[in-house]
Each structure stands twice: as structure tokens, then as C-alpha cells.
Amino acid sequence: MAIAVIDYGMGNLSSVRNALRAVGADVRIVQHGHELGGASAIVLPGVGAFGAGMEGLRLRGFADALSREVIERKKPLLGICLGLSLLAEIGHEFGRHLGLGWVPGEVVSLDVASLGLRVPHVGWNEVHGSGTLFRGIPEDSSFYFAHSYHLALRERSWICATTEYGREIACAIEQENIMAVQFHPEKSHRCGLALLANFAALAA
Amino acid sequence: MLKKRLIPVLLLRNGQLVRSEGFATHQVLGDPVHEVARFNEWAVDELLYLDISEDATILGRADTKVKPETSILAILEAVAARCFMPLTFGGRIRTLNDIRARLERGADKVALGTALVANPTLVTEAARSFGSQSVVAVIDAKRDGDGDFRVVYDHARRTTSWTPALLASRAEELGAGEILLQSVDRDGKAQGYDLALIRSVTAATRVPVIALGGVGSLDHFALAITEGGAAAAAAANIFHFVELSDRRAKRAMALAGVDVRLDLSR
């Protein structure tokens, strides 16, 4: 069965699809929640604002379908960038929005300007990772980031990778079948493809 | 630590890859889709395509059998399919639909130049719709008769009263996530970056600045960062004319004390 990539109107999915195909995965882009039933694993990508993202998920029936497939049926999920943010309880981008609420934390702005750092956090940064997604990837490999908000977790047990930008940022999480990354593996050359291959292996 | 970036810029004119000098002289170098394979193999930090065409005509080349793509969007799509790195696409973008069409075909960011001057609301609308990280504001600067920097646009044919620093600060307010700062005077001259220009803009903004224009040797790159305060050093011509320019430039930057991504074999 294929890996379903969720299209909820939040940005370009072709990069994610191309990258997953490059590592040999069978990929299908899905436009509505009812199409998730046949998937063996799910990728929630996305760039853009938190509120618009949640609205997109609800409008296309993904909010309920995701809860059924990921929480009840325990299918592997990979959130990417906004797809990581939406797993949180609350997002504070252009207002206060409820997220899917599966991860104990809130999405807050990257407040590092006082440290003389530029926002958004754009570019390649070293990642200290472990767990399923980072299997076989050399420690401190660089991945491509582009974000102005980050996930502030209440429970450190979720964190499987961190990076430094003025402070430590949780940039990947993993608990059972739920995984998510703040950076863009589909734009991170070989290490990114290796990470996607690790995820795709769960769908086999 | 966040790495400083090195960005090859590919200039497209009517679908052909060109070398540019002073925004006026252009020589055809080759096929834009084939080139991306080389940059992917080099694992460069990211790629920036700028369409500097005056119209939408797409030309082929008489000296190769490569069949040209039929439109700039088809070129983008073909490039994106081979590109597992961040990709910025700029040039001839006038509407939100133009932006959407590029992001849907695999661009991660769009670069807006003329719109920044002539239709600044587009910058804000783009940032609201697609996020600031998708919007790169392009500032082309030229020294006037008194040696002061002025923003120019429309292939550097029109001059404004904006200083690059003021327009950069305005671009940030409008929602741009990065600034691509290009020196028209240094374009294709190989004398090095205009560091005073870069400093004036990096001092006026908090968003990352990408410096472009003037690189002639591998040791020019580091100065945009160490002296200019830029987050990324970009160039066009040198990446076509110097063998293994990307990794050799990275080594030169590292030797100059710049923290760059060197794990290119991974």
C-alpha cells in the first residue's frame, strides 16, 4: 500500500512526492480524509500559517480521518514543518488556534532577534538526532530549515532531535507511530532522502 | 550552528541559461534543466533561478539536440523534479497566481523585484498566503552620479529614489522573509562584491540577506559574510566557468573563518 501525502491546500507537495519516489516509495497525494483508509503510512507536509492549516485539514475531512488512522489504527505519520506544528495543542501565529493536540506543547514565535539572530531561521543547520528517522544518518548532519515559529514542548520525552539557533530547538519528535520534523528532508539532499527512506521503510 | 550559505544563481533568458554583464550583455551558456543535475551532484546549499526575459518566448539552441521546454513553468517543473534542495524562482512575477503557479511546480520561494517597487501589496499578499519564508525581496542597486546607492528596477532601466537600505527595511515590513541584494555595477565585472552596499542593507534589516553581483574569484565569497554581514553569498557566472567551483568556494570560505556546510558527500 502507498504512502499518502496529504494535500490540504498548504503549499507545494510535489517536492515531497518527488523525494519519496526517489527513495523508492509508492506515493499517492490525497485530497480528502476518506482517501486515507487505504494508506499504509501518512505524510503531513505543508508550509504556511497555523490557522489556515487547521482550517484546511477540517474542510477536507482530514482532522477526523487523521485521528482515526493515526491515533486509533496507529499508522505511521510523518509531519513536516507546518505538519509538525499542527500536531501541537495550540498555535500562536496570527492569533491563537487549536491544533490537533496530540503533542504536549504549543507553537510559538522564534524569539531570537534579541540575541542578534535573524528570523526566519533559514538555511542549513546541524541536527543532533536519534531514533527511527535518524537511523544510519551521521551525527551533526545538516538539514534545511525555513521557519519563524517553533514547537515548545512540555515533555522532553517526545524530542528525538535538536538544533541550535540562539537556543536549543526541538526539531524532530517521535513517540510510537507519530513522527515529525521541523526542517525539510525533501530539500536536504542525501541526509534528507535517507531520513525519508527510514520513514518509508515503516510503510513496507 | 546555522551555516552560512553559498548559492549558485542561474539566469534564464527566453528559456536559455545565460551569462550577464551589467544587466545588459548576455551570452547563452546552455540548457537550464541539464545544469541542475550537476548542482544536485555537487549537493549545493540551494539554487536560485532568475528569469530575466523581456517576453515569454522560449528559444532552443541550434548547437544541441536538446529539445527545449515550452514555457518557463515547464522548465521549473523539470528542474524541480531533479532538485532535492531549496529552489527559488524569480522574474516576471506579477500576480498572486503567478506565485502560486511557481510554488505548485516545485519552487520553495519566489523572488519579487519589480513588484516590490511597483506593486508592494503583492509582497504582503504573498507572505500572508504562503508564509514569509516563501518570499524573497529582490533589490537591484546602482550607484548614482554622486556615488550614492539607488534602487533600480525593470532590468535596471528605471531608477527610484529608494536607497537599498530603506527599501530593504520596507520589504521586511511588507513580509519578505529574505532579501536578495544585487549590485548592477558589479554584475559580470568579477571585481568582488560591493561590500559597502551589502553593509548598508544588512545593518538596516533583521531578515537574512543574500549578496549577489561581482564575484570573480573564490575568495570573494567569504567577504560578503565576514565584511558585509550577509547570511548567504551568491554568484552566477563563476559557477559555470570554474571547475568544481562550489566545493572549492566552500573550502575558501571555511579557510576565511566562515561556518559553511562542508558535509557535501552525505
**DSSP helix/strand/coil, B45:** coil
Residue B33: which H helix or E strand, with range?
helix B32-42
CA B187 to chain centre: 12
In this complex, which of B81, B131, B266 lies closest to A18 when CB atoms are compared?
B81
Gap from A82 CA to chain B (nearest CA, Å): 11
CB-CB under 8 Å, B231 with A18: no
- pLDDT for B44: 93
Residues of A in contact with B169 (CB under 8 A): none
* Active-site residue, selected from the candidate residues A97, A147, A150, A184: A184
Q: How far off is chain A from B44, nearest CA to CA, in Å?
A: 9
Chain A residues near residue B77 by CB distance under 8 angstroms: 14
Question: Could you give the ipTM of this predicted complex?
Answer: 0.88
Q: B43 and A125: CB-CB below 8 Å?
A: no
Chain B residue numbers with beta carbons less than 8 Å from the beta carbon of A122 are 133, 177-178, 208, 231
CA distance linking residue B36 with residue B103, whole number of Å: 18
What was the pLDDT predicted at A177?
97
pLDDT class of B68 with cuts at 50, 70, 90: low
pLDDT band at A133 (very low <50, low <70, confident <90, very high): very high
Q: pLDDT band for B130, please (50, 70, 90 cuts).
A: confident
Distances (CA, A) of B72 to A124, B7, B14, B30, B131: 28, 21, 8, 15, 23
pLDDT (0 to 100) of residue A164: 96
d(C-alpha A201, C-alpha A46), whole Å: 22
| pLDDT tens readout for residues A157-190 | 999 999 999 999 999 999 999 999 999 999 999 9
Q: Which three cell numbers stand for residue B154?
A: 525593470
**Using alpha carbons only, how large is chain A's radius of gyration in Å?**
16
Name the catalytic one among A81, A160, A171, A191.
A81
- The DSSP bridge partners found for residue B26 are B20
C-beta atoms surrounding B99 within 10 Å: 24
Mean pLDDT of A43-51: 89
Q: How far apart are CA A123 and CA B246, in angstroms?
A: 16
Q: Provide the CA B238 distance to its chain's centre, in angstroms.
A: 14
Q: B84 vs A48: CB contact, 8 Å cut-off?
A: no
Q: Which residues of A fall below an 8 Å CB-CB distance to B? A: 11-12, 14-15, 18-19, 22, 47-49, 113, 117-126, 137-138, 141-142, 144-148, 164-165, 184, 186-193
Contact B85 A48 (CB under 8 A): no
**CB neighbours of residue A24 within 10 Å:** 10
Cα(B85)–Cα(B109) distance, rounded to whole angstroms? 12
Kindly state the cell numbers that stand for B192: 568582488
B264–chain A nearest CA distance, Å: 9
Question: Is the pLDDT assigned to residue B266 strictly greater than 50?
Answer: no
Q: Which percentage of chain B shows pLDDT scores above 90?
A: 71
Interchain proximity A120–B133, CB inside 8 Å = yes
* A204 or B212: which leads in pLDDT: B212
A118:B208 CB<8 A: yes
Spatial contact of A158 and A173, defined as CB atoms under 8 Å apart: yes
* Cβ distance of A47 and B131 shorter than 8 Å: yes
pLDDT in tens, B185-218: 999 999 999 999 999 999 999 999 999 999 999 9
A139 is catalytic: no
Give whole-number Cα distances, B177 to A72, A134, B109, B225, in Å. Answer: 39, 29, 9, 18
Q: Are A170 and A181 in contact (CB under 8 A)?
A: no
pTM: 0.92
B6-54 residue pLDDT tens: 999 999 999 888 988 988 888 888 888 888 888 888 889 999 999 999 9
Residue B65 has pLDDT above 60, yes or no: no
Contacting residues of B for A141, CB less than 8 Å apart: 263, 266
- Candidates B6, B85, B265: best to mutate against A (most CBs of A within 10 A) is B85
Is the pLDDT at B61 greater than 60, yes or no? no
Q: Which three cell numbers stand for residue B226?
A: 565576514
Q: Are B123 and B116 in contact (CB under 8 A)?
A: yes
What's the rounded Cα separation, in Å, for the pair A95 and B33?
42
Residue A184 is among the residues annotated as catalytic for this protein: yes
Nearest chain B residue (CA) to A148: B133
Highest mean pLDDT among A42-46, A111-115, B12-16, B23-27: A42-46
Our CA-based measurement puts residue A188 at a distance from the nearest CA of chain B, in whole angstroms, of 6
Average pLDDT over residues A81-97: 95
3-class DSSP assignment, residue B251: helix
B80 vs A123: CB contact, 8 Å cut-off?
Answer: no
Chain B contact probe: residue of A118, A121, A196 with most B CBs at under 10 A: A118
Distance CA A27, CA A23 (A): 11
> How confident is the prediction for chain B on average, in pLDDT?
92
d(CA B137, CA B131): 13
Chains A–B, number of C-beta pairs less than 8 Å apart: 120
